Structure 1
Amino acid sequence: MRRSFYHYILTQRGHNLHDPVEVFANDVSRDIMFPKHSEDYHEVADYLELNVNYLDSMDLFDQVWEKYVENNK
C-alpha cells in the first residue's frame, strides 16, 4: 500500500537530537501546513523550500526522500 511522504516521515520521529532525520521528522510532525497527502517530490520539495525554516539543507530531504521511495514500492 502506498503512503504519503508525511506518513513515512512520521515513522522516523525520535528523541535523538543529534540525528538530523529524527529532528526533521519531529519538525514535520509539528507543521500543520505540511502537504500531508502528497506523494509528489516536487510538491513537497517546493513546500519545504518556500515555506519552512526548520530544514537547514535540502540534501537531507533528498536523502530521506530516497529512503521513502525505496520503502514505498
Structure 2
Amino acid sequence: MRMSFYQFLMTQRNPNSADEVQQFANNAFLDSTFPKHSENFDEISHYLEENADYLPSMTIFDEAWQRYIDAMN
C-alpha cells in the first residue's frame, strides 16, 4: 500500500535541521487540518496555498513532493 504524502512527510521531520523540507514537515505535523490521507498533488497544493501560512514558498512543497515521488517508485 502506498503511503499518503503526509505519512511520507512525517518521515522527513527533524526539529534541529535548517533543511526547508524538514521544517515544512515539522510545521505540517502541527497543522491539525492538513489533508493527512491524500496522495493527490492538486488537492495538497491547493490546501497549502489557501491555508499554510507556515510554508514560505511553494517551491519547498515541490521539492518535498519530488522526494515523495522518488520514495514511492
TM interval, short-chain normalised? over 0.9
Say whether the 8 Å CA contact 2:15–2:22 is kept in structure 1. Answer: yes
Q: How many residues align?
A: 73
Percentage of identical aligned residues: 47
1:70 aligns to what SS in structure 2?
A: helix
TM-score by length of 2: 0.94
2:56 is aligned to 56
2:35 is aligned to 35
Structure 2 gap segments, 5+ residues each: none
CA RMSD of aligned residues (A): 0.9
Say whether the 8 Å CA contact 1:16–1:22 is kept in structure 2. Answer: no
Say whether the 8 Å CA contact 2:4–2:37 is kept in structure 1. Answer: yes
| Separation (CA, whole Å) in 1 of partners of 2:64 and 2:23 | 12
Structure 1 gap segments, 5+ residues each: none
Say whether the 8 Å CA contact 1:38–1:44 is kept in structure 2. Answer: yes
Report the Cα offset of residue 17 of structure 1: 4.2
Query: What letter matches 2:4 in structure 1?
Result: S
Provide runs of 4+ in structure 1 moved above 3 Å. Answer: none
TM-score by length of 1: 0.94
| Separation (CA, whole Å) in 2 of partners of 1:59 and 1:21 | 10
